[in-house]
Chains A and B, each alone.
Chain A
Amino acid sequence: MKDTPLSNCERDFLLNAIGEKRRLDGRQTYDYRNIKISFGTDYGCCFVDLGKTKVMAQVSCELITPKENRPNDGIMFFNIELSPMASPAFETGRQSELLVKLNRQLERCLRNSKCIDVESLCVVSGEKVWQIRVDVHLLNHDGNLMDAASIAAIAALSHCRRPDVGILGEDVTVYSPEERDPIPLSIYHMPISVSFAFFQQGTYLLVDPCDREERVMDGLLMIAMNKHREICSIQSSGGIMLLKDQVLRCSKIASVKVSEITELINKALENDKKVRKAGGRCGFAQSMPQERITALKADVSPVEMAGIKENANEIVQRAEAPSQSVPSPVLPAPGTGQVGEGLQTSWGLEEKEEEEEEEEEEEEDVQHVVEEQGRGDVVLISDSDSEEEEVVILNQEALPTKGTLSKQQRAADSKQQRAADSKQQRAADSKQQRAADSKQQRAADSKQQRAADSKQQRAADSKQQRAADSKQQRAADSKPQQKNKKQ
């Protein structure tokens, strides 16, 4: 998508207004927009609102092998995401010029300034070090992405806790937060980037330019500095000539802004710590403004359960009966089989039967049986004997074992017959009888009885009984089958 083009009238108005020392949102030349810093539910997640610009930073840690030339240093990795959420002009997965510029500047601001003690991230020299990954997501682009990103990244790093590790001989154990409290990163200082936009070949200067101001500016100067007034990086882009005085003046302004912002970050961190200590809730959900007309919240609400069971039962019962005839298997190519071609799925009923049979047996058991059943439906045609045997097991009727029939045909035949037979029978028998008998009875019996009984007892009772029942039945069933097989 393309961005809305900037009209000449906006450009002229902006430049004129800047000449008159006025800005679109009524700020003064050196004013920042409102900065709001909030933290997420988990450690190392930070949201920064700079006016309408919004970014989110997330820090994550991972154990990796270090670089060969620096076996004792942990690794810092920065990744800025320009998602189309922030601006229609951004695309995912494209290395745009802006992205490279922002990423590079963030790296220079936070990695090359050595604000984080990378040696403390070493676990086993040359083998295991922590990699600290910082993902910065731009959510809404209204200018000055760099400053917002740098504030979010450093605040997230200061908020981050990495898991504790223990070394016993050769073994490295990473403790979960429940076992041992995670430990914060050691941060020497907090570099913060401050952006200055220059207009009319450097005649006018604005701090914290918004989107439209950025579009008409001639050049941009980004100074990263910490509160000790140490410059961590400085970058000028746009190709304007700046005088020495201008750079010096900018660095003075930057030092004031940086100390203000550092104060703000520290206050936000402290607040968050207090809330966490008090066991209060924190995170994005809590930072949602309640008073806004566009926001609404609903409390925990129970879902009404009345009628749900009946409903579900009804649907299951209304489910279509499986078709009585099974079409002959389709063979796209020799040696391949196909499932369910032109056949309505009959799984619904079969599974239901299974459920009734095995009801509260262990899950595995049910699954197993279902699988078997399912296989009955699947037309398996293969040359291996084992497959056929498996097919035979399910068949209760006498097997047409004529040697003249080819294996495939036989399989197909038996399958049809068996499927038709067993299904009919089963459908007729078990459904009518069992459904009528056991369900009513059970429903009547067990519900009254069981409801009165405790759950555990019920489970135990029914399991024993039914397990015994079904085992007997199954044993009885399977015996003739085995005989069959031997024949």
Chain B
Amino acid sequence: MLNSFKDKIGDVLLPGDVFSVQMPESITDSKPEKIVCGPGLRRNGDEVLVCKSGVLRHKPPNLYWIDSQQRRYIPVKGESVIGIVTAKSGDIFKVDIGASEQASLSYLAFEGATKRNRPNVQVGDLVYSQLIIANKDMEPELACIDSCGRANGMGVFGAGGLLFKVSLGLVRRLLAPQSEITVDLGKLFPFEMVVGLNGRVWVKARTAQQTLIVANMLESCENMTAQQRQVLFRRVADGSI
């Protein structure tokens, strides 16, 4: 099974494609290899079922997942997202993270917040936070502190900057370690960028013009090969756009 799976790495798979986990008879004596199914893959008895269209990716030693370009976010525990505060009710904030349900964020889940010292958050503000509860049966819950009570980069956004939406696939490419897109963009001019795994990106450059350039370039990166992207970036660097 692993062999057939390995052959398909980097290949496009469609929902309904099935891989059998049954080991060949000859190697039953060897220890059965474990695999970890990531997003888009499901175990179905002795088989692995693909349930999303996309490219099969593999991370050694045994992690497999489907890389797709969907837009709708599905909350996953531990992921960092950008949310928009939509309501204040009692001691929680309701936050829109683009999922099927609004997430709740306790006002105590900010660094240094106490019952007396409430964080200054208004409706419409952006928060960068981590999902601490996320499963299909419960309302997602956010926190702007890590387990040690530190902000660690999370919290309410300062003024300025622009928020826009891209596909979840592009977001993951941006967040990949040594992502080419991020490195190339960084060469053009300095800017701040916050990337939420829910497909929202916030960018702030020195001027509104530069912010818009970054935003538009990121949006156009969706369907570009590395070469096309480099050509585009070079043209921007030359100042022809």
Q: A interface vs B, CB < 8 Å?
A: 4-13, 16-17, 20, 22, 24-26, 293-294
Contacts and interface: CB of A to CB of B under 8 A. Distances in A.
Q: Give the one of B84, B161, B216, B223 with max A CB within 10 A.
A: B84
A293 B228 CA distance: 14
Contact of B208 (A5, A6, A17, A294): A17
A24 B214 CA distance: 11
A11 B126 CA distance: 12
B211 A13 contact: yes
B67 interface: no
B208 A22 contact: yes
Nearest to A25: B216
15 contacts: A4-B84, A5-B96, A6-B124, A9-B126, A9-B160, A9-B162, A9-B163, A16-B208, A17-B212, A20-B208, A20-B209, A22-B208, A22-B209, A24-B212, A26-B212
Contacts of B126: 7-9
A10 B163 contact: yes
A13 B125 contact: no
A177 B197 CA distance: 56
B163 A7 contact: yes
B161 A9 contact: yes
**Chain A residues touching B, majority SS:** loop
Contacts of A13: 160-162, 208, 211
Contact of B216 (A20, A26, A293): A26
A310 B29 CA distance: 45
A280 B133 CA distance: 59
Contacts of B122: 8
Interface of B: 84, 86, 96, 98, 122, 124-126, 157, 159-163, 165, 202, 208-209, 211-212, 215-216, 223
A16 B160 CA distance: 9
B216 A7 contact: no
**Chain B residues touching A, majority SS:** mixed
* 6 pairs of A and B residues whose beta carbons are closest in the complex: A8-B124, A13-B162, A7-B84, A17-B208, A293-B223, A5-B84
Contacts of B96: 4-5
Nearest to B241: A26
A302 B70 CA distance: 34
A10 B122 CA distance: 14
B71 to A, nearest CB: 11
Contact of B124 (A4, A7, A25): A7
A148 B128 CA distance: 37
Contacts of B98: 4
B220 to A, nearest CB: 11
A5 B86 contact: yes
Nearest to B208: A17
B14 to A, nearest CB: 14
Given A4-B96, A5-B96, A293-B223, A10 B162 contact: yes
A7 B215 CA distance: 16
Q: Give the one of A6, A7, A24 with max B CB within 10 A.
A: A7
A400 B208 CA distance: 98
Nearest to B86: A5
A312 B160 CA distance: 68
Contacts of A25: 216
A259 B66 CA distance: 51
B165 to A, nearest CB: 8
A17 B208 CA distance: 6
Nearest to B122: A8
Nearest to B207: A20
Given A13-B161, A13-B162, A293-B223, A7 B125 contact: yes
Contact of A8 (B125, B165, B215, B216): B125
A330 B165 CA distance: 63
B124 A5 contact: yes
A7 B124 CA distance: 5
A296 to B, nearest CB: 13
A9 B212 CA distance: 14
B162 A11 contact: no
